[in-house]
Amino acid sequence: MKKFVAVAGNIGAGKSTLVELLCDKLAWQPFYEPVADNPYLVDFYTDMQTWAFHSQIFFLTHRLRMHRQLLDHPTSVLQDRTVYEDAEVFAKNLFQQGKIHSRDYKTYQELYDVLTDFLPPPDLVVYLRASVPTLYGRITSRGRDFERQITPEYLEQLNKLYEHWITDFSLCPVLSVPSDDLDYVANTSHLDMIASKVQEKLTGKEEVVFDLQEMP
């Protein structure tokens, strides 16, 4: 039976890398976050006040369309970032920081609520939990020009919203992965363990825990 799994997590948590590696291992189809396709992203990181609403609307519409396509895909799929994070983390943070006007945020939230009410959830969300030093180090090392304005303080704000969102999220099962402790790029046994936990969760185990003693 085909499965729809989404990988969630903050900027620099390792979502795209995990999607690629898991898809290679499980022979699933990957679908990645449309970072390069967003025509507002460079402007957004330069002037969030002006471009935040435009950028978030782009991400929301693109990811809603992708979510629908993944539900209809004939094989098992793995998605890089969920539609829920756009609204519950990034748009909410921008509103709280005064980067999105309250009128625009209300319009955005109403659009999100109406559309997601008709959207079946994934079979599983894999949440990559990472500390700010880990996130910031990975962002710095990959050297994307449009991410140069990202600060540790911004990542900390997002992390708080992520933890609040994932705690309350109940639309489908969640597998939380300790990204600080696992190096699934250099250590294949870590990747094998994550793949095994994903399969366990998809087959109905109520609780799947990463025991640090399991890690080579």
Q: Which two tokens stand for residue 43?
A: 């402007």
Query: What is the total residue count of the chain?
Result: 216
Identify whether the C-beta of residue 194 lies closer than 8 Å to the C-beta of residue 36.
no
Nearest residue to 46 via CA among 159, 117, 150:
150
Token pair recorded at residue 195:
């793949």
Q: Phi and psi for 104 in degrees, rounded to 5? A: -65, -40
Residue 163 burial (CB count, 10 A): 14
Catalytic residues: 80
Write the burial class of residue 146 (CB in 10 Å: 0-12 exposed, 13-18 middle, 19+ buried).
middle
Written in H, E and C, the secondary structure of 112-155 is HHHHHHCCCCCCEEEEEECCHHHHHHHHHHHCCHHHCCCCHHHH
Other CB atoms within a 10 A radius of the CB of residue 191 amount to: 20
